[in-house]
């Protein structure tokens, strides 16, 4: 018999489904649309229509790169499709070792370790390194996987307003003498495209003897002449203790990594639960990831082109009257205001074959809903110009532009 009184689980499910029904009815739902085909680096087939892709994190346009595809195929021929187990037991392949050596060389560290996703990397590494009695100090706009790792760790979790270095220093002073401190931040913030004040964070960590962990999900392949990340960008080598990144964005694979000194990596390899209790990265993905790091070094023009394209996109949208917030990278927020306005902008853009997606609350604060548009090295300047015209027309129609 059905219980007439709804419990909280039922209520939550119902509330979300009501919200979804509303957006379906108004033709304002654009999430989870399957891509049917990749067409070159910058175009996709969605719902039978070819669209320019402005929502991809494949910043260097490496998805579908022949050398990377070939490496994945070779790995399958050699090792098959799965690893039938965890790394510590029978799951480790020579290929995993080669991948980790490649990452360590790319990041200029002694060693590296890989996990099966970036999300799981943050969860397991943060909760392995700190626990009760320790302190984590985290930027308020850090990625959800960092927040979840911090909560899971049981350490004291202190946050500071986004990029507020005075607040960071106050938090560091707040920690009692003798307790371990871990400062964590994204290098490039995933919703806003701006950079952490890296020189100041490094200085404060040194001053207060705190460990520093930086998530380079959106800076790998993006920052620095060689694309190696935020240390290269600021010309500050060896500044980060725990260098985290994903293999799912610029690197067209899946997985996450930590690069650091040999002792740290040994420790994680023998203590972190996602490494010990979850199956290894599949061969094709490990092979693809390794080849992608090589391609970044072999084809530095991609980084130059990404920078030029990002500049064109940011300046062009600003000139057309949009607020692109504080972005300095290929992640370009186009501020819309209300959730509704962001959904309508998405609909107008997609109806004119520009594939962009909205980010709404609670992922961003209410009133700051936006399109979160991205460009990659695969776009041509003319395409970007056309896409910006489409977004401008949408802005006029919705009333964001006057």
DSSP string, 322-387: ---TT--SSEEEEEEESHHHHHHHHHHHHHTTEE--EE-TTTS-TT-EEEEEE--TT--HHHHHHH
The sign of the torsion formed by the CA atoms of 41, 45, 49, 54 equals negative
Q: Which of residues 288-327 bind ligand PLP (CB under 6 A)?
A: none
- Is position 355 an interface residue for ligand PLP (rule: CB under 6 A)? no
- Is position 245 an interface residue for ligand PLP (rule: CB under 6 A)? no
Contacting residue, 186, 192, 339, 348, with ligand PLP by CB under 6 A: 186
Contacting residue, 113, 217, 296, 394, with ligand PLP by CB under 6 A: 217
* Minimum CB distance to ligand PLP smaller for 109 or for 285: 285
Contacting residue, 54, 119, 135, 211, with ligand PLP by CB under 6 A: 119
Q: 328 exposed, middle or buried (CB, 10 Å; 0-12, 13-18, 19+)?
A: middle
Tell me the closest approach of the beta carbon of residue 216 to ligand PLP, in angstroms. Answer: 8
Tell me the closest approach of the beta carbon of residue 326 to ligand PLP, in angstroms. Answer: 16
36 close to 46: Cβ distance less than 8 angstroms: yes
Phi and psi angles of residue 2, each rounded to the nearest 5 degrees, phi first: -75, 135
* Minimum CB distance to ligand PLP smaller for 217 or for 375: 217
> What does DSSP assign to residue 109?
S
191 vs 316: CA distance, rounded Å: 19
DSSP string, 216-257: -TTTTTTSSTTS--HHHHTT-TT--SEEEEESSSSSSS--EE
Candidate ranges 84-92, 210-218, 312-320, 384-392; the one touching ligand PLP (CB under 6 A): 210-218
Contacting residue, 42, 83, 109, 117, with ligand PLP by CB under 6 A: 117
Residue matched to tokens 């029904």: 21
Tell me the closest approach of the beta carbon of residue 183 to ligand PLP, in angstroms. Answer: 15
- Is position 287 an interface residue for ligand PLP (rule: CB under 6 A)? no
- Is position 282 an interface residue for ligand PLP (rule: CB under 6 A)? no
- Is position 138 an interface residue for ligand PLP (rule: CB under 6 A)? no
- Is position 347 an interface residue for ligand PLP (rule: CB under 6 A)? no
The sign of the torsion formed by the CA atoms of 334, 339, 341, 343 equals positive
- Is position 118 an interface residue for ligand PLP (rule: CB under 6 A)? yes
Residue matched to tokens 């919200």: 19
Residues 171, 177, 180: CA angle, nearest 5 degrees? 70
* Minimum CB distance to ligand PLP smaller for 87 or for 347: 87
Contacting residue, 114, 128, 246, 327, with ligand PLP by CB under 6 A: 246
* Minimum CB distance to ligand PLP smaller for 114 or for 344: 114
- Is position 241 an interface residue for ligand PLP (rule: CB under 6 A)? no
- Is position 100 an interface residue for ligand PLP (rule: CB under 6 A)? no
Produce one character per residue of 134-162: b if its CB has 16 or more CB atoms within 10 Å, e if not: bbbbbbebbbebbbbbbeebebbebbbeb
- Is position 215 an interface residue for ligand PLP (rule: CB under 6 A)? yes
Using Cβ positions, the residue closest to ligand PLP within the complex turns out to be 118
Q: Which residue ranges make up the site for ligand PLP (CB under 6 A)? A: 117-119, 122, 143, 145, 186, 190, 215, 217-218, 246, 248, 256
């Amino acid at each position: 018999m059905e219980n007439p009184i709804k419990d909280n689980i039922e209520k939550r499910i119902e509330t979300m489904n009501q919200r979804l029904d509303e957006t379906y009815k108004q033709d304002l739902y654009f999430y989870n649309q399957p891509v049917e085909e990749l067409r070159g680096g910058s175009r996709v087939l969605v719902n039978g229509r070819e669209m320019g892709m402005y929502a991809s994190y494949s910043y260097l346009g490496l998805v579908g790169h022949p050398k990377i595809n070939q490496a994945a195929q070779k790995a399958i021929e050699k090792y098959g499709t799965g690893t039938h187990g965890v790394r510590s037991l029978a799951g480790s392949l020579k290929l995993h070792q080669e991948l980790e050596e490649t990452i360590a060389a790319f990041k200029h560290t002694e060693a590296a370790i890989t996990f099966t996703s970036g999300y799981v990397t943050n969860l397991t590494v943060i909760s392995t390194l700190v626990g009760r009695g320790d302190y984590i100090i985290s930027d308020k706009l850090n990625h959800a996987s960092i927040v979840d790792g911090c909560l899971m760790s049981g350490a004291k979790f202190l946050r500071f307003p986004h990029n507020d270095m005075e607040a960071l220093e106050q938090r560091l002073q707040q920690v009692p003498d003798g307790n371990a401190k871990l400062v964590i931040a994204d290098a490039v913030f995933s919703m806003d495209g701006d950079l952490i004040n890296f020189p100041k964070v490094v200085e404060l960590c040194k001053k207060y003897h705190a460990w520093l962990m930086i998530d380079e999900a959106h800076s790998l392949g993006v920052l620095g002449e060689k694309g190696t990340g935020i240390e290269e960008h600021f010309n500050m080598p060896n500044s980060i203790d725990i260098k985290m990144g994903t293999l799912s964005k610029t690197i067209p694979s899946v997985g996450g990594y930590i690069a650091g000194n040999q002792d740290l990596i040994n420790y994680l390899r023998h203590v972190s639960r996602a490494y010990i209790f979850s199956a290894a990265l599949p061969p094709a993905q490990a092979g693809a990831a390794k080849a992608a790091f090589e391609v970044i070094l072999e084809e530095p023009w991609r980084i130059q082109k990404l920078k030029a394209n990002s500049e064109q996109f940011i300046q062009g949208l600003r000139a057309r009257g949009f607020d692109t917030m504080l972005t300095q990278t290929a992640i370009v927020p186009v501020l819309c205001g209300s959730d509704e306005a962001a959904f309508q902008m998405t609909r107008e853009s997609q109806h004119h074959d520009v594939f962009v997606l909205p980010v709404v609350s609670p992922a961003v604060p209410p009133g700051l809903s936006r399109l979160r548009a991205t460009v990659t090295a695969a776009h041509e300047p003319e395409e970007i110009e056309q896409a910006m015209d489409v977004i401008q027309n949408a802005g006029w129609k919705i009333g964001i532009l006057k």
